[in-house]
Amino acid sequence: MEKLNLDCFVIIFNELRDKKSLHSCLLVNKEWCHLIVPILWKNFFYYEEIEEDKTIFYNTILSLLSSSTKQILNDNDIKLPLTKFLKPPLFNYISFCKFPKYDIVNGIISMILKNNNNHDKRYLLEQEIYKSFIIQCKNIKELYWKTSQPLPLFPGASTCFSQLHKLNINLDYVNSNSLQEMAKYCKSLNELSVRNPKDSTGLISLIDAQKNLKEIFLYSIKFRERTYEKLSNTLSRKVNLLKLELSNIIIIPPSFLKSLINLTTIYIFFNEVDEQDDDIKKIKEFQRCLAISEFPNLQFLSIYWLLSFKELAKLIEKTNENLLHLDIYNTHRNVKNTGMLIISIANNCPKIKTLRTYIEPKDFIYVKSLLLNCKYLEVVKFDSLYAFINLNDNILGDELLNILAEFSPKFLTNITISAIWKYSIDGFIRLFESYKERNLRHFNLCKNYDYDITEDHKVIIKKYIDEGIIRNSTCTFY
């Protein structure tokens, strides 16, 4: 029973994120102290509120460096703070910590060396800090790797990194040889994130070594002129991947997508595209591969920047009615087949809950079947692709408002529509009156340059907010 009680306390203490409450519990008795100290140190990074806390933390870490490490630093004229303890520390605090991110190590270095930019001293101090963590931290689960230090070569690396589940690498710092070394004993990753990837032997070896990789994220700061043929071939072998995210990465050849039939989540972002022939050609090839790929288990799909919705519509036809969330952002202004996408969703996504896409007035006719067939919709956002439309003072948006008022499913309580189409006061009233029995959690308009709603529109929205029919809207703040 005593053991059970302690286990219960551990669960409770792990749920507490309030440092003051944990500190109070720390003083109850010795047993509680031994339970709480590891939790406080493991979660220290959640509590970095004031500089004094950081300084105490940094000094404690430095005080726990080995005598040999302190001697190496002293021999190289690196003076550590004169931290004195009346008694030896009760715990090996470093062993409780999560493996430190780059900014923590850099903070310790800056505290000691201040404005001294001597590269050799900074490198040596960084090396000794990482060595101390690697020796004393056992079986860490997460590593954010943003240093040129060869972490897998340090003593204790095989024990420290063998149980890694989540690895985030910045290849502007980490070289191929270090990745190859890491691949020797890091084989249990569930999640791998790579910033600024390269078609390197080390990265390929690391990915190939993984037995249970479920999620992979590849990010580039800008759209880079690189090919990733080896990386593409390697990913095609990871048929059990569930989640794929590509940001400013065009994998060549993109046909690797056809192999990843078990994906449940796809995020693709091309937010640094120059509208030049070469970039456009690559994105067209990528879209063609989307059209011929099949993801029968796909539930979440987000895409940023497309030239056409035709290929996307074909992809959705093969999702086996499992798609729950579809987000499309900042699409190319001359994108085609917006209506085809709405039809495909209406016919193939009966379980969908969230839809954010672009349509034009000619597509309003398809929204009715979308709302009738997709009865679990909770969130819709219909934006316009164009910054300016010659409306000739016509009110185009009322057709959309009327469809929403008459056919919205009962779960649809979050609506955002483009301000560019213009709406009558009566159109607003009809929509809001249709929600009297269930209420709108959110009602918003996408602002498009000079197009805006009138003060009369704001008054109507405010009226329905005051009546509790609309809970939240940013429209009244425009």
* Domain limits, the chain: 1-42, 359-478
> Rounded distance, CA 216 to CA 192, Å?
5
Average pLDDT of span 299-323: 93
> What pLDDT digit, counting tens, does each position of 54-79 carry?
777 788 788 888 889 989 988 898 88
Full strand arrangement of the beta sheet holding 191-195: 142-145, 166-170, 191-195, 215-219, 243-247, 265-269, 300-304, 325-329, 354-358, 379-383, 414-418, 442-446
85-96 b/e (C-beta count within 10 Å ≥ 16 → b): eeeeeeeebbeb
> Rounded distance, CA 23 to CA 37, Å?
9
> What pLDDT digit, counting tens, does each position of 200-233 carry?
999 999 999 999 999 999 998 766 657 788 999 9
Contact 285, 251 (CB under 8 A): no
pLDDT at 273: 61
More confident of the two residues 99 and 404: 404
Question: Is residue 301 over pLDDT 90?
Answer: yes
The mean pLDDT of the chain is 85
Q: Which two tokens stand for residue 140?
A: 């860490």
> What pLDDT digit, counting tens, does each position of 409-431 carry?
999 999 999 988 889 999 999 99
Question: What residues contact residue 34 under an 8 Å CB cut-off, 6+ apart?
Answer: none
